[in-house]
Structure 1
Amino acid sequence: MPDIRIPAPGGGSLWAERGGTGNPVVLLHGAGMDSRLWDAVAPVLRAHHDVIRYDARGLGQSSRPEQPFSDTEDLRAVLDHFGLRRAALVGLSMGGETSLDFALAHPDRVTELALVGTSVSGHVWPHDARTSAYAAARHQGNASSLARLELSIWASMGRAAPGGELIQEMVEQNAARRITSERYFAHTPDRDAASRLGHITAPTLVVHGDRDHPEIAAIAERLTAEIPDAQGHVVPDADHYLPLRTPERLTELLLAHLSPQRREPV
């Protein structure tokens, strides 16, 4: 499948891949990762959908930013590049946050939302020793500490669990890139999806692993309660890297949600 280079707003390019036929679905990965997060999910989805995945600005094979950028504008550039007026968005963590913000800003362009272990703009995270150290490593630009803490906090099932080798590889390769990218990320004070969840109009699936960070579970509960008609599912034996830990179960949930009938999965 050929690599695609999409011009990024303000300069540079976004790496993307497209394959399959059917209704369009865009896969968005989390911070400190890249599109390989979807390696075990994308091939099955492509049998039923037109699937696009891309590396967020500065991560994976996308170019590093040299000026402030917007993740939602990058997503719009991806849709526009492929001539897609509307698409379903499947986002994990940061990718889910981007998807939510985009759905609030452009509700007419989102057919369905699937939020996996997602974060939410405007959500206030509680502080503890490990998450404080994690934040400090990001702000201080300490890539080795950031990678180590990313793996211990978010990939708690370890290297021996399914997908462990690829997870470690992605995290270590993207740690320094993430630090650079986040320095140019345009933080806008008015981005506050947490207070506007009731305005989401797209059919929404909320998924998280039972071994993810406890605050992710709290966010998932809030999303399910406040987004109209949202469906929530907890996946056993999965931490934050759910698409690589339990790809079969996640794919089953996604196919049921993204199908025209949106059958409730067993």
Structure 2
Amino acid sequence: MSQPTGRPGSEVQVHVPAQFHVPAPGGGRLWAERVGSGSPVVLLHGSGMDSRLWDAVLPELAHHHDVIRYDARGLGRSAEPERPFDDVEDLRAVLDHFGLARAALVGLSLGGETALDFALAHPDRVTALGLIGSSVSGHDWPPTPETTAYAEARRRGDAAALAELELSVWAALGRTAPGGELIATMVEENAARRIVSEHFLAGAPGRPAEPRLGEVAVPTLVVHGDRDHPEIAAIAKRLAADIPGARARLLPAADHYLPLRTPERLTGLLLAHLP
């Protein structure tokens, strides 16, 4: 089956999801999926997850937009890295592969951080930002027993301990809440691969984003859940205050995995925000 590649400024219609293997900078492949029609939107997941994070959001979003989601380097169906890599350059490779001169970026957690770093590095290629439970490069996370336990699990290469920490700290609503089984499956399947991927992740490009938030010049939506980690709430407050014109929303009954916990509310916010 021939696959659409798209051209800058063109509207692509993909009514049945099409899957791709995008060449990654420095070698390897990134698994990606494209569906829908309209203005382009790229969805980015967070650490230890994969693009299944967007399963409950994608169908409605694709009724209105040309949507691309992909698995970050070493996670999901993407190839494991063998050398240092940069998430921002991987995102640029995805946009280039699909011939997108500009797109809206929606990212959760580290995916939001990558989207924000990309918007600062390549402002002419971003039409809007959706920062969902986002982290931000340059943020000074306070030391806690949790961060110490994470570091120790990574040092030992203990995938089971890392998965258990991820679910207890970031998926506080548990397996019985909406999306719970898929969240647990994603985290457990990606735990070992996450340790390898994070070992090679090169980190934020150039200057950190936190002191540069005033330079963001695209419409920005900042969303977090009322049951998310307290530091994510602090970051959301900073993003909303320092990004010019940013709009902030707090969603009830949601932890860090917002797109699976409360997909209808989040989709509604995104559809109202995206160009």
**TM-score, normalized by length of structure 2?**
0.93
Distance in 2, matches of 1:104 and 1:139, equals 32
Where does residue 26 of structure 1 map in the other structure?
A: 42
Q: C-alpha separation between the residues in 1 aligned to 2:234 and 2:94?
A: 31
User: How much has 1:132 moved relative to structure 2?
Assistant: 1.8
Aligned positions of 1:115-194 closer than 5 A = 115-187=131-203, 190-194=206-210
- What's the counterpart of residue 12 of structure 2? none
Which of 217, 221, 227 does residue 243 from structure 2 map onto?
A: 227
Residue 20 of structure 2: aligned partner = 4
The answer to which of 63-72 and 124-133 deviates more is: 124-133
The residue aligned with 1:198 is 214
Structure 2 Cα separation of the partners of residues 251 and 138 of structure 1: 34
AA aligned to 1:61 is R
Residue 105 (1) aligns with residue 117 (2): no
**Cα pair 2:35 2:67 within 8 Å, conserved:** yes
The equivalent of 1:75 in structure 2 is: 91
Opposite residue 75 of structure 1, the aligned amino acid is L
Which has the higher mean CA deviation after the structures are superposed, 199-208 or 122-131?
122-131
C-alpha deviations, 1:156-191, integer Å up to 9, x for none? 100000000000000000000000011111135734
Map of 2:77 onto structure 1: 61
Count of residue pairs brought into register by the alignment: 259
Secondary structure (helix, strand or coil) at the match of 2:221 reads strand
**1:237 Cα deviation (Å)?**
0.2
Post-superposition CA distance 1:16-75 (Å, at most 9, x none): 000100000000000000000000001100000000000000000000001111100000
CA distance in 2, matches of 1:230, 1:132: 33
RMSD: 0.9
Q: Helix, strand or coil: the match of 2:18?
A: coil
Letter in 1 for 2:145: A
Deviation at 1:139, TM superposition (A): 3.2
Q: Which amino acid aligns with 1:28?
A: L
TM (norm. structure 1) is 0.96
Contact 2:117 2:205 in 1 (8 A): no
Percent identity (aligned): 71
- Tell me what 1:218 maps to: 234
Q: Matched residues in 2 for 1:136 and 1:202: separation?
A: 39
- Contact (CA 8 Å) 1:146, 1:175: kept in 2 or not? yes
How far apart, in 2, do the equivalents of 1:216 and 1:129 lie?
A: 17
List gaps (5 residues or longer) in structure 2: 1-16
State whether structure 2 residue 197 is matched by structure 1 residue 207. Answer: no
Amino acid in structure 1 at the alignment position of 2:85: F
Q: Confirm whether residue 242 of structure 1 aligns to residue 258 of structure 2.
A: yes
After TM superposition, where is structure 1 displaced by more than 4 Å over at least 4 residues in a row?
none
The letter of the residue matching 1:154 is W
CA displacement at 1:127 relative to structure 2 = 1.4
Once the two structures are superposed, what CA deviation does each residue of 1:183-232 show, in whole Å capped at 9, x if it has no partner? 11113573410110000011100000000000000000000000000000
Shift in CA distance, 62/225, structure 1 to aligned 2, threshold 3 Å: same
Out of 37, 40, 49, the residue aligned to residue 65 of structure 2 is 49
Whether the 8 Å contact between 1:79 and 1:85 is mirrored in structure 2 is yes
**Structure 1 letter corresponding to 2:263:** P
The CA distance in 1 between the partners of 2:164 and 2:137, in whole Å, is 25
Instruction: Give, as a single letter, the amino acid of the residue that structure 1 aligns with 2:21.
Output: R
C-alpha contact (below 8 Å) 1:101/1:191 kept by paired residues = no
* Alpha-carbon separation, structure 2, partners of 1:129 and 1:118: 21
Structure 1 stretches of 5 or more lacking a match? 260-266
Q: Retained in 1: the 8 A contact 2:137–2:204?
A: no
Distance 2:92 2:42 in 1: 11
Deviations 1:104-135 (A, max 9, x none): 00000000000000000000001111232123
2:9 maps to which residue?
none
